[in-house]
């Protein structure tokens, strides 16, 4: 029987453990604060940010939300970030990506104070991850590590294939998988849009992480019997539903499930973990910035 990992259950468990950390911070007079900044009218981005704010409300994290007109000058965004850097009640800052084309993404990421960069996207934090000394692990790859751990999937000595080379998921995922640390020590291959014969690579893998952003790119014929398959894709495809679309992962779930021992669904797999690990990084940021120790899950 294939084990379908319940991402909501794992995320809830982590958030319950985080609640204890938040209570300890509160006792010491500290309310963790997370600022989200949205400069987009993309419905998916709006949904993601409101889910992040909802998670803050549920846990007693102070959520501050800033919305900028997507046509506003780039300087407005930079100045918003600078003000948040200077605000002692804000421990974590997240600028929802993507930003509009006229805003230089690299400049935004560099502008966030690295100690408040709960996404782990600032070049200093990327460098620390690559050097094997991460400050904030990027939320989605960290959540995937937690899902694998919850499903008792050993990574050490295993062949892992990451499909996708994005800065948000693919690259940091591969970097976590090769760390000399629990959840790492995997022999890791990164595949991408120019990879030839993708299936030949994925069929060799004990662990496949599909994060390319193409609906149902990875199907059962590309999965080795007994593999663990993690689906990061959230693709809106036209469908005759009330909303006019449905969400489809990067994995063809039914066919992959026939081969895999362990698989994540979409929705309800990786998605909830991204939010849980954002809360984790915010709690960690608050603890470090205020010198109030907590025991993170």
Annotated catalytic residue 17:
no
Residue 218 interacts with ligand GUN (CB under 6 A)?
no
The residues pairing with 4 across neighbouring beta strands, listed in sequence order, are 263
What is d(CA 116, CA 209) in angstroms, rounded to the nearest whole number?
28
Name the one range near ligand GUN by CB under 6 A: 3-11, 91-99, 127-135, 225-233: 91-99
Q: Is 229 near ligand GUN (CB under 6 A)?
A: no
- Under the criterion CB under 6 A, does residue 292 sit at the interface with ligand GUN? no
- Report yes or no: 186 and 158 within 8 Å, Cβ to Cβ: yes
- Asked whether position 96 contacts ligand GUN by CB under 6 A, the answer is yes
Q: Tell me which residue of 212, 135, 141 sits closest to 176, measured CA to CA.
A: 141
Q: Which stretch binds ligand GUN (CB under 6 A): 88-96, 152-160, 193-201, 216-224?
A: 88-96
Give the list of residues 6+ apart from residue 152 with CB closer than 8 angstroms, or none: none
- Based on the shown chain and the rule CB under 6 A, indicate whether residue 117 belongs to the binding site for ligand GUN: no
Considering only 40, 115, 125, 140, the residue that binds ligand GUN (CB under 6 A) is: 140
The reply to whether 139 sits near ligand GUN by the rule CB under 6 A is: yes
Q: Which is nearer to ligand GUN, 147 or 260 (CB)?
A: 147
Judged by beta carbon, residue 168 or residue 222, the one nearer ligand GUN is 168
Nearest residue to the partner ligand GUN, using Cβ: 97
Nearest approach, Cβ of residue 89 and ligand GUN (Å): 20
Active site residue 96: yes
Is 52 tagged catalytic? yes
Pairing assessment for the beta strands 159-163 and 207-210 based on DSSP bridges: parallel
To ligand GUN, the closest distance from the beta carbon of 232 in angstroms equals 10
Interactions with ligand GUN, residue window 265-284 (CB under 6 A): 274
Kindly name the residue from 15, 116, 117, 119 that is annotated as catalytic: 119
Q: Does 112 bind ligand GUN (CB under 6 A)?
A: no
Q: Which of 97, 178, 198, 247 binds ligand GUN (CB under 6 A)?
A: 97
Q: Which range touches ligand GUN (CB under 6 A), out of 67-75, 95-103, 151-159, 207-215?
A: 95-103
State in angstroms the smallest separation of the CB of 55 from ligand GUN. Answer: 13
Q: Which residues are catalytic?
A: 52, 96, 119
């Amino acid at each position: 029987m294939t084990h379908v990992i319940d991402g909501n259950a794992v995320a809830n468990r982590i958030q319950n453990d985080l609640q204890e950390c938040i209570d300890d911070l509160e006792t010491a007079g500290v309310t963790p604060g997370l600022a989200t900044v949205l400069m987009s009218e993309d419905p998916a981005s709006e949904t993601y940010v409101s889910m992040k704010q909802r998670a803050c409300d549920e846990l007693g994290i102070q959520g501050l939300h800033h919305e900028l007109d997507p046509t506003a000058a780039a300087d407005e965004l930079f100045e918003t970030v600078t003000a948040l850097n200077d605000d002692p009640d804000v421990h974590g800052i997240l600028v929802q990506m993507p930003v509009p084309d006229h805003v230089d993404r690299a400049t935004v990421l560099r502008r966030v104070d690295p100690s408040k960069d709960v996404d782990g996207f600032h070049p200093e934090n990327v460098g620390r991850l690559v050097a094997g000394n991460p400050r904030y692990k990027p939320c989605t790859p960290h959540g995937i590590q937690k899902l694998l751990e919850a499903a008792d999937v050993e990574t050490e000595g295993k062949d892992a294939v990451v499909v996708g080379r994005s800065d948000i998921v693919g690259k940091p995922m591969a970097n976590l998988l090769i760390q000399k640390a629990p959840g790492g020590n995997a022999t890791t291959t990164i595949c991408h849009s120019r990879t030839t014969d993708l299936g030949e690579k994925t069929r060799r893998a004990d662990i496949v992480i599909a994060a390319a952003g193409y609906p149902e790119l990875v199907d059962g014929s590309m999965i080795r019997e007994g593999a663990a398959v993690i689906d990061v894709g959230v693709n809106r495809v036209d469908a005759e539903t009330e909303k006019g679309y449905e969400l489809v992962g990067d994995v063809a779930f039914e066919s992959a499930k026939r081969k895999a021992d362990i698989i994540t669904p979409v929705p309800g797999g990786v998605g909830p973990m991204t939010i849980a690990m954002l809360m984790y990084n915010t709690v960690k940021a608050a603890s470090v910035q205020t010198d109030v120790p907590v025991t993170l899950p």
